Amino acid sequence: MIELRYPEILPKTRSGGSIKEVFDPIRKRWVQLSPEEWVRQLFILLLSETHRFPTALMAVEQTISLGAMQKRFDLLVYDRSQQPWMMIECKAETVALDDAVLDQLLRYNMSVPVRYLLITNGAHCMGWERTGQTLIPLQKIPSITV
């Protein structure tokens, strides 16, 4: 398990009638707040504020092709040469980080190969470095200075 140390600030939220929204600093717009979206926005803050990842190197919920199917990854971090470097799959806090979550991320990784893979439900995080066909467990979030 990777220890998560969130910053003291929280994502910006607002309510418009019965709909609650959260501001996504990557997409630069308000999006509907769901349990998974809350985790994604917390993780963006963790990466940008605690680990100093530039938000300009992050992409959120972009479509990728998996054979004939279209899917959307949660969060992708590019390295400083603009190559896909780390992919993160976010789940609601009530979702267990099990093999099904890792399998989903590995399927996405076939379409967008990256060196680092993380899964999180906000409370817990697991990660791996991919070297060829081998996954090496991570003890911490890798540094973007690579």
* Number of domains present in the structure of the chain: 1
Residue pLDDT tens, the chain, 146 long: 999 999 999 999 999 788 999 999 999 999 999 999 999 999 999 999 999 999 999 999 887 776 777 778 899 999 989 999 999 999 999 999 999 999 999 888 888 999 999 999 999 999 999 998 899 999 999 998 64
| Residues near 71 by beta carbon (within 8 Å), at least 6 away in sequence | 63, 64, 65, 107, 108, 111
CA distance 75 to 108: 11
Position 6 in a domain: no
Position 30 in a domain: yes
Q: List the CATH number of the domain containing 94.
A: 3.90.1570.30
Burial (Cβ within 10 Å: 0-12, 13-18, ≥19) of residue 66: exposed
Position 145 in a domain: no
Helical H segments across 1-146, by residue range: 35-45, 99-111
- What range defines the domain where residue 49 resides? 13-137
According to DSSP, the β-strands at 63-66 and 19-24 are unpaired
Position 146 in a domain: no
Supply the pLDDT for residue 143.
92
Position 1 in a domain: no
Position 99 in a domain: yes
Supply the pLDDT for residue 12.
95
Position 142 in a domain: no
Position 113 in a domain: yes
